[in-house]
Structure 1
Amino acid sequence: MRGAMTVIERDVDAMLIPSGDRISLPAGSELTVVQTLGGNVTVQDPYGQLFRIDEKNASVLGEDYAAKAKSPDEAPQGTPGEFSEEQVWEQLRTVYDPEIPVNIVELGLVYTCKVTPLEEGGQRVSIEMTLTAPGCGMGQVLVEDVRQKVSSVPGVKETEVELVWEPQWDQGRMTDVAKLQLGWM
Protein backbone atom coordinates (compact mmCIF):
# COMPACT_ATOMS: atom_id res chain seq x y z
CA MET A 1 0.00 0.00 0.00
CA ARG A 2 2.21 2.83 -1.26
CA GLY A 3 0.79 6.21 -0.42
CA ALA A 4 1.16 9.83 -1.32
CA MET A 5 3.66 12.07 0.41
CA THR A 6 2.45 13.25 3.83
CA VAL A 7 3.78 16.08 5.97
CA ILE A 8 3.51 15.03 9.60
CA GLU A 9 2.12 17.59 12.02
CA ARG A 10 3.78 16.33 15.20
CA ASP A 11 7.00 14.65 16.24
CA VAL A 12 6.82 10.86 16.09
CA ASP A 13 8.99 8.05 17.41
CA ALA A 14 10.30 5.80 14.66
CA MET A 15 12.98 3.23 13.96
CA LEU A 16 15.70 3.78 11.38
CA ILE A 17 15.89 0.97 8.82
CA PRO A 18 18.07 -1.09 8.54
CA SER A 19 20.07 -0.14 11.67
CA GLY A 20 17.15 -0.46 14.09
CA ASP A 21 18.15 2.77 15.87
CA ARG A 22 15.28 4.59 17.57
CA ILE A 23 14.82 8.19 16.51
CA SER A 24 12.26 10.98 16.57
CA LEU A 25 11.00 12.31 13.25
CA PRO A 26 10.24 16.02 13.68
CA ALA A 27 6.96 17.71 12.83
CA GLY A 28 7.12 18.94 9.24
CA SER A 29 8.91 15.82 7.96
CA GLU A 30 7.81 14.76 4.49
CA LEU A 31 7.17 11.01 4.41
CA THR A 32 5.82 8.57 1.83
CA VAL A 33 4.27 5.30 2.98
CA VAL A 34 6.09 2.37 1.39
CA GLN A 35 4.23 -0.51 3.04
CA THR A 36 1.68 -1.13 5.78
CA LEU A 37 2.06 -4.73 6.90
CA GLY A 38 2.02 -6.65 10.16
CA GLY A 39 0.74 -3.71 12.19
CA ASN A 40 3.62 -1.40 11.28
CA VAL A 41 4.13 1.26 8.64
CA THR A 42 7.34 1.66 6.65
CA VAL A 43 7.87 5.21 5.39
CA GLN A 44 10.52 6.87 3.26
CA ASP A 45 11.78 10.43 3.43
CA PRO A 46 12.65 12.48 0.30
CA TYR A 47 16.29 11.35 0.61
CA GLY A 48 15.40 7.66 0.37
CA GLN A 49 15.89 6.79 4.06
CA LEU A 50 13.43 4.24 5.44
CA PHE A 51 11.78 4.36 8.87
CA ARG A 52 9.37 2.07 10.70
CA ILE A 53 6.46 3.64 12.57
CA ASP A 54 4.57 1.30 14.88
CA GLU A 55 0.83 0.85 15.20
CA LYS A 56 0.41 3.19 18.17
CA ASN A 57 1.94 6.10 16.22
CA ALA A 58 0.48 5.40 12.76
CA SER A 59 -2.19 8.09 13.21
CA VAL A 60 0.50 10.71 12.47
CA LEU A 61 0.19 9.58 8.83
CA GLY A 62 -3.60 9.95 8.71
CA GLU A 63 -6.59 7.91 9.77
CA ASP A 64 -6.43 5.51 6.80
CA TYR A 65 -2.97 4.32 7.85
CA ALA A 66 -3.91 4.26 11.52
CA ALA A 67 -6.85 1.96 10.72
CA LYS A 68 -4.70 -0.29 8.51
CA ALA A 69 -2.02 -0.55 11.20
CA LYS A 70 -4.62 -1.44 13.85
CA SER A 71 -5.92 -4.32 11.76
CA PRO A 72 -2.83 -5.96 10.29
CA ASP A 73 -3.19 -9.09 8.22
CA GLU A 74 -5.12 -10.66 11.07
CA ALA A 75 -4.34 -14.21 12.01
CA PRO A 76 -7.30 -16.33 13.08
CA GLN A 77 -7.57 -16.41 16.84
CA GLY A 78 -9.46 -19.72 17.15
CA THR A 79 -11.43 -20.62 20.22
CA PRO A 80 -10.26 -18.69 23.29
CA GLY A 81 -8.03 -20.89 25.43
CA GLU A 82 -7.71 -23.53 22.72
CA PHE A 83 -4.18 -24.04 21.36
CA SER A 84 -3.27 -25.11 17.85
CA GLU A 85 0.13 -25.09 16.15
CA GLU A 86 -1.54 -23.69 13.03
CA GLN A 87 -2.40 -20.55 15.03
CA VAL A 88 1.31 -20.15 15.80
CA TRP A 89 2.14 -20.36 12.08
CA GLU A 90 -0.65 -17.91 11.24
CA GLN A 91 0.80 -15.41 13.73
CA LEU A 92 4.27 -15.90 12.23
CA ARG A 93 2.75 -15.03 8.84
CA THR A 94 1.84 -11.58 10.24
CA VAL A 95 5.50 -10.66 10.87
CA TYR A 96 7.19 -8.70 8.08
CA ASP A 97 10.67 -7.46 7.40
CA PRO A 98 10.14 -3.68 7.14
CA GLU A 99 12.12 -3.57 3.88
CA ILE A 100 10.47 -6.52 2.13
CA PRO A 101 6.69 -6.80 1.60
CA VAL A 102 6.67 -10.56 2.28
CA ASN A 103 6.10 -12.27 5.63
CA ILE A 104 8.95 -14.10 7.36
CA VAL A 105 7.43 -17.55 6.76
CA GLU A 106 7.18 -17.05 2.98
CA LEU A 107 10.68 -15.55 2.97
CA GLY A 108 11.97 -18.78 4.51
CA LEU A 109 13.35 -17.07 7.62
CA VAL A 110 11.67 -19.47 10.07
CA TYR A 111 13.76 -22.65 10.25
CA THR A 112 12.01 -24.49 13.08
CA CYS A 113 8.92 -24.13 15.23
CA LYS A 114 8.76 -26.69 18.01
CA VAL A 115 5.83 -26.99 20.43
CA THR A 116 6.37 -28.63 23.81
CA PRO A 117 3.59 -29.20 26.37
CA LEU A 118 4.42 -27.79 29.81
CA GLU A 119 3.82 -29.86 32.95
CA GLU A 120 1.87 -27.03 34.57
CA GLY A 121 -0.31 -26.65 31.48
CA GLY A 122 0.04 -24.62 28.34
CA GLN A 123 2.67 -24.80 25.64
CA ARG A 124 6.25 -23.69 25.11
CA VAL A 125 6.92 -22.59 21.53
CA SER A 126 10.59 -22.59 20.49
CA ILE A 127 11.46 -20.93 17.19
CA GLU A 128 14.73 -20.82 15.30
CA MET A 129 14.86 -18.14 12.65
CA THR A 130 17.41 -16.26 10.62
CA LEU A 131 17.69 -13.00 8.72
CA THR A 132 18.31 -12.27 5.06
CA ALA A 133 21.68 -10.75 6.06
CA PRO A 134 23.69 -11.34 9.26
CA GLY A 135 24.41 -7.62 9.73
CA CYS A 136 20.76 -6.57 9.65
CA GLY A 137 20.07 -4.17 12.51
CA MET A 138 16.40 -5.14 12.52
CA GLY A 139 17.15 -8.65 13.84
CA GLN A 140 16.20 -8.04 17.46
CA VAL A 141 13.16 -6.06 16.33
CA LEU A 142 11.92 -9.01 14.28
CA VAL A 143 12.69 -11.41 17.15
CA GLU A 144 10.57 -9.27 19.48
CA ASP A 145 7.76 -9.05 16.89
CA VAL A 146 7.77 -12.87 16.67
CA ARG A 147 7.84 -13.24 20.46
CA GLN A 148 4.89 -10.87 20.95
CA LYS A 149 2.73 -12.37 18.22
CA VAL A 150 3.37 -16.01 19.15
CA SER A 151 2.78 -15.22 22.83
CA SER A 152 -0.69 -13.94 21.91
CA VAL A 153 -1.81 -17.42 20.76
CA PRO A 154 -4.20 -18.99 23.31
CA GLY A 155 -2.44 -21.62 25.39
CA VAL A 156 1.12 -20.37 24.76
CA LYS A 157 2.80 -19.85 28.14
CA GLU A 158 6.45 -19.57 27.03
CA THR A 159 7.96 -18.33 23.79
CA GLU A 160 11.63 -18.74 22.89
CA VAL A 161 13.02 -17.17 19.73
CA GLU A 162 16.61 -17.75 18.68
CA LEU A 163 18.45 -16.15 15.77
CA VAL A 164 20.61 -18.72 13.98
CA TRP A 165 23.06 -18.31 11.12
CA GLU A 166 23.46 -21.90 9.97
CA PRO A 167 22.35 -22.81 7.46
CA GLN A 168 22.81 -19.42 5.86
CA TRP A 169 19.67 -17.97 4.29
CA ASP A 170 19.52 -17.70 0.50
CA GLN A 171 16.77 -16.94 -2.02
CA GLY A 172 16.19 -20.65 -2.56
CA ARG A 173 14.47 -20.75 0.85
CA MET A 174 11.70 -18.44 -0.36
CA THR A 175 8.37 -19.97 -1.30
CA ASP A 176 6.98 -19.56 -4.80
CA VAL A 177 4.40 -17.19 -3.28
CA ALA A 178 7.20 -14.92 -2.04
CA LYS A 179 9.00 -15.04 -5.37
CA LEU A 180 5.78 -14.10 -7.17
CA GLN A 181 5.12 -11.22 -4.75
CA LEU A 182 8.59 -9.86 -5.41
CA GLY A 183 8.35 -10.38 -9.18
CA TRP A 184 11.13 -12.97 -9.23
CA MET A 185 9.06 -15.63 -10.93
Structure 2
Amino acid sequence: MYDYGQESIVLRRDVNVVHIPEGTPGVLPKGHVVNLYQSLGGNFTVTTEWGYMVRIAGADADALGKEPPSLSGLVSGTDPESVEKNVWEVLKTIYDPEIPVNIVDLGLVYQCRVTPRDDGRNDVSIVMTLTAPGCGMGPVLQYDAEAAVKQLPGVGNVEVEVVFDPPWSRDRMSEAAKLQLGMI
Protein backbone atom coordinates (compact mmCIF):
# COMPACT_ATOMS: atom_id res chain seq x y z
CA MET A 1 0.00 0.00 0.00
CA TYR A 2 1.15 3.52 -0.58
CA ASP A 3 -0.46 6.53 0.93
CA TYR A 4 1.10 9.71 -0.50
CA GLY A 5 1.12 11.84 2.64
CA GLN A 6 -2.32 11.02 3.96
CA GLU A 7 -1.17 9.86 7.39
CA SER A 8 0.65 12.14 9.82
CA ILE A 9 2.68 10.32 12.46
CA VAL A 10 4.48 11.57 15.56
CA LEU A 11 7.74 9.66 16.01
CA ARG A 12 7.72 7.59 19.19
CA ARG A 13 11.52 7.61 19.51
CA ASP A 14 14.64 8.92 17.81
CA VAL A 15 15.06 7.07 14.53
CA ASN A 16 17.82 6.65 11.95
CA VAL A 17 16.85 7.72 8.44
CA VAL A 18 18.34 7.91 4.97
CA HIS A 19 17.79 11.17 3.08
CA ILE A 20 16.28 10.80 -0.38
CA PRO A 21 17.66 11.15 -3.04
CA GLU A 22 21.13 11.84 -1.60
CA GLY A 23 21.38 8.57 0.33
CA THR A 24 22.98 10.27 3.34
CA PRO A 25 22.19 9.06 6.86
CA GLY A 26 20.54 11.17 9.51
CA VAL A 27 18.41 11.01 12.66
CA LEU A 28 14.93 12.36 13.31
CA PRO A 29 14.08 13.11 16.95
CA LYS A 30 11.28 11.67 19.04
CA GLY A 31 8.19 13.86 18.70
CA HIS A 32 8.97 14.94 15.12
CA VAL A 33 5.90 14.81 12.86
CA VAL A 34 6.25 12.98 9.55
CA ASN A 35 3.81 12.25 6.75
CA LEU A 36 3.78 8.72 5.39
CA TYR A 37 4.49 8.85 1.65
CA GLN A 38 4.72 5.13 0.96
CA SER A 39 5.01 1.92 2.90
CA LEU A 40 6.30 -0.72 0.54
CA GLY A 41 8.67 -3.63 0.87
CA GLY A 42 8.88 -3.23 4.62
CA ASN A 43 10.46 0.24 4.53
CA PHE A 44 8.75 3.58 4.97
CA THR A 45 9.21 6.71 2.92
CA VAL A 46 8.10 9.80 4.81
CA THR A 47 8.28 13.55 4.44
CA THR A 48 9.49 15.57 7.42
CA GLU A 49 8.20 18.78 8.99
CA TRP A 50 10.96 20.54 7.05
CA GLY A 51 9.83 19.12 3.71
CA TYR A 52 12.60 16.55 3.30
CA MET A 53 11.91 13.05 2.05
CA VAL A 54 13.58 10.27 4.07
CA ARG A 55 13.43 6.52 4.34
CA ILE A 56 12.92 4.69 7.61
CA ALA A 57 13.94 1.02 7.66
CA GLY A 58 11.34 -1.62 8.43
CA ALA A 59 13.35 -2.64 11.49
CA ASP A 60 12.45 0.78 12.92
CA ALA A 61 8.70 0.43 12.26
CA ASP A 62 7.99 0.80 15.99
CA ALA A 63 9.17 4.44 15.84
CA LEU A 64 6.19 5.03 13.55
CA GLY A 65 3.80 2.88 15.58
CA LYS A 66 3.80 0.28 12.80
CA GLU A 67 4.51 -3.44 12.73
CA PRO A 68 7.81 -4.72 11.35
CA PRO A 69 7.49 -6.39 7.95
CA SER A 70 7.10 -10.12 7.47
CA LEU A 71 7.94 -12.10 4.37
CA SER A 72 5.63 -14.74 2.94
CA GLY A 73 5.42 -16.62 -0.33
CA LEU A 74 8.80 -18.32 -0.14
CA VAL A 75 9.22 -21.93 -1.19
CA SER A 76 10.85 -24.47 1.10
CA GLY A 77 14.11 -26.06 0.11
CA THR A 78 17.73 -25.05 -0.21
CA ASP A 79 18.44 -26.53 -3.65
CA PRO A 80 19.62 -23.98 -6.26
CA GLU A 81 16.21 -23.79 -7.99
CA SER A 82 14.36 -23.08 -4.72
CA VAL A 83 16.98 -20.55 -3.66
CA GLU A 84 16.74 -18.73 -7.00
CA LYS A 85 12.95 -18.60 -6.79
CA ASN A 86 13.21 -17.18 -3.26
CA VAL A 87 15.85 -14.65 -4.32
CA TRP A 88 13.51 -13.27 -6.98
CA GLU A 89 10.66 -13.15 -4.44
CA VAL A 90 12.71 -11.29 -1.87
CA LEU A 91 14.02 -8.85 -4.50
CA LYS A 92 10.38 -8.00 -5.25
CA THR A 93 10.13 -6.64 -1.68
CA ILE A 94 12.76 -3.96 -2.36
CA TYR A 95 11.37 -0.66 -3.60
CA ASP A 96 12.84 2.51 -4.92
CA PRO A 97 11.86 4.93 -2.13
CA GLU A 98 10.50 7.48 -4.61
CA ILE A 99 8.65 5.11 -6.94
CA PRO A 100 5.95 2.68 -5.74
CA VAL A 101 7.34 -0.20 -7.83
CA ASN A 102 9.76 -2.94 -6.75
CA ILE A 103 13.23 -3.21 -8.30
CA VAL A 104 12.35 -6.38 -10.24
CA ASP A 105 9.29 -4.89 -11.94
CA LEU A 106 11.21 -1.65 -12.55
CA GLY A 107 13.65 -3.77 -14.55
CA LEU A 108 16.63 -2.89 -12.38
CA VAL A 109 17.69 -6.51 -11.81
CA TYR A 110 19.54 -7.78 -14.87
CA GLN A 111 20.72 -11.15 -13.62
CA CYS A 112 20.54 -13.59 -10.72
CA ARG A 113 22.92 -16.53 -10.66
CA VAL A 114 22.83 -19.23 -7.96
CA THR A 115 25.88 -21.47 -7.67
CA PRO A 116 25.74 -24.55 -5.40
CA ARG A 117 28.63 -25.14 -2.98
CA ASP A 118 30.03 -28.37 -1.57
CA ASP A 119 28.66 -27.54 1.89
CA GLY A 120 25.03 -27.56 0.68
CA ARG A 121 24.70 -23.79 0.63
CA ASN A 122 24.48 -21.62 -2.47
CA ASP A 123 26.35 -18.50 -3.50
CA VAL A 124 24.21 -15.82 -5.12
CA SER A 125 25.40 -13.26 -7.64
CA ILE A 126 23.08 -10.44 -8.66
CA VAL A 127 23.68 -7.84 -11.36
CA MET A 128 21.49 -4.76 -11.18
CA THR A 129 21.38 -1.14 -12.24
CA LEU A 130 19.73 2.09 -11.15
CA THR A 131 17.23 4.33 -12.89
CA ALA A 132 19.93 7.02 -13.01
CA PRO A 133 23.71 6.62 -12.64
CA GLY A 134 24.02 9.43 -10.07
CA CYS A 135 21.26 8.13 -7.81
CA GLY A 136 22.34 8.63 -4.19
CA MET A 137 20.08 5.79 -3.11
CA GLY A 138 22.04 3.30 -5.23
CA PRO A 139 24.22 2.04 -2.37
CA VAL A 140 21.12 1.76 -0.17
CA LEU A 141 19.26 -0.36 -2.73
CA GLN A 142 22.38 -2.48 -3.27
CA TYR A 143 22.71 -3.05 0.49
CA ASP A 144 18.98 -3.83 0.81
CA ALA A 145 19.22 -6.49 -1.91
CA GLU A 146 22.32 -8.06 -0.37
CA ALA A 147 20.94 -8.05 3.18
CA ALA A 148 17.57 -9.51 2.14
CA VAL A 149 19.12 -12.34 0.10
CA LYS A 150 21.62 -13.20 2.87
CA GLN A 151 18.70 -13.98 5.20
CA LEU A 152 17.30 -16.69 2.93
CA PRO A 153 17.75 -20.36 3.86
CA GLY A 154 20.48 -22.13 1.94
CA VAL A 155 22.33 -18.95 0.96
CA GLY A 156 26.08 -18.61 1.49
CA ASN A 157 27.90 -15.65 -0.03
CA VAL A 158 25.98 -12.87 -1.76
CA GLU A 159 27.41 -10.41 -4.26
CA VAL A 160 25.34 -7.56 -5.67
CA GLU A 161 27.02 -5.68 -8.49
CA VAL A 162 25.63 -2.38 -9.77
CA VAL A 163 26.34 -1.74 -13.45
CA PHE A 164 25.39 1.01 -15.88
CA ASP A 165 25.92 -0.86 -19.13
CA PRO A 166 23.45 -1.50 -20.54
CA PRO A 167 21.76 1.62 -19.20
CA TRP A 168 18.30 1.29 -17.69
CA SER A 169 15.34 2.47 -19.74
CA ARG A 170 11.58 2.37 -19.27
CA ASP A 171 11.46 -0.48 -21.78
CA ARG A 172 12.89 -2.77 -19.07
CA MET A 173 9.82 -2.24 -16.85
CA SER A 174 7.21 -4.97 -16.55
CA GLU A 175 3.74 -4.36 -17.97
CA ALA A 176 2.41 -4.35 -14.39
CA ALA A 177 4.85 -1.58 -13.41
CA LYS A 178 3.94 0.50 -16.45
CA LEU A 179 0.26 0.07 -15.67
CA GLN A 180 0.78 0.97 -11.99
CA LEU A 181 2.64 4.15 -12.96
CA GLY A 182 0.03 5.10 -15.57
CA MET A 183 2.37 4.57 -18.51
CA ILE A 184 -0.07 2.33 -20.43
Question: What TM-score comes out, normalization by structure 2 length?
Answer: 0.89
Aligned to 2:14: 11
CA distance in 1, matches of 2:140, 2:87: 18
Q: CA deviation at 1:58?
A: 1.7
Q: CA deviation at 1:47?
A: 4.4
Aligned to 2:90: 91
User: What runs of 5+ residues in structure 2 fail to find an aligned partner?
Assistant: none
Q: CA deviation at 1:11?
A: 2.2
Aligned to 2:166: 167
Contact 1:7 1:29 (C-alpha < 8 Å) held by counterparts: yes
Q: CA deviation at 1:126?
A: 0.7
Kindly provide the CA deviation profile for residues 38-87 of structure 1, in whole angstroms up to 9, marking residues without a partner as x.
1111101244321111122222222xxx22x423xx34232254551211
Amino acid at match of 2:39: T
User: Sequence identity, in percent?
Assistant: 48
CA distance in 2, matches of 1:11, 1:120: 42
CA distance in 1, matches of 2:118, 2:78: 17
Question: What TM-score comes out, normalization by structure 1 length?
Answer: 0.89
The runs of 4+ residues in structure 1 deviating greater than 3 Å are 80-83
Aligned to 1:27: 30
Task: Please state whether the residue corresponding to 1:180 is helix, strand or coil.
Answer: helix
Which residue, out of 74, 88, 99, partners 1:77?
74
Kindly provide the CA deviation profile for residues 93-135 of structure 1, in whole angstroms up to 9, marking residues without a partner as x.
1111111110000000001111112233321111100000111
Contact 1:43 1:52 (C-alpha < 8 Å) held by counterparts: yes
Task: Please state whether the residue corresponding to 1:128 is helix, strand or coil.
Answer: strand
Aligned to 1:123: 122
Q: CA deviation at 1:181?
A: 1.1
RMSD: 1.7
Deviates more, 1:50-59 or 1:99-108: 50-59
Check 1:48–1:170 CA distance in 2 against 1; reply closer, same or farther (3 A cut).
farther
Matched length: 179
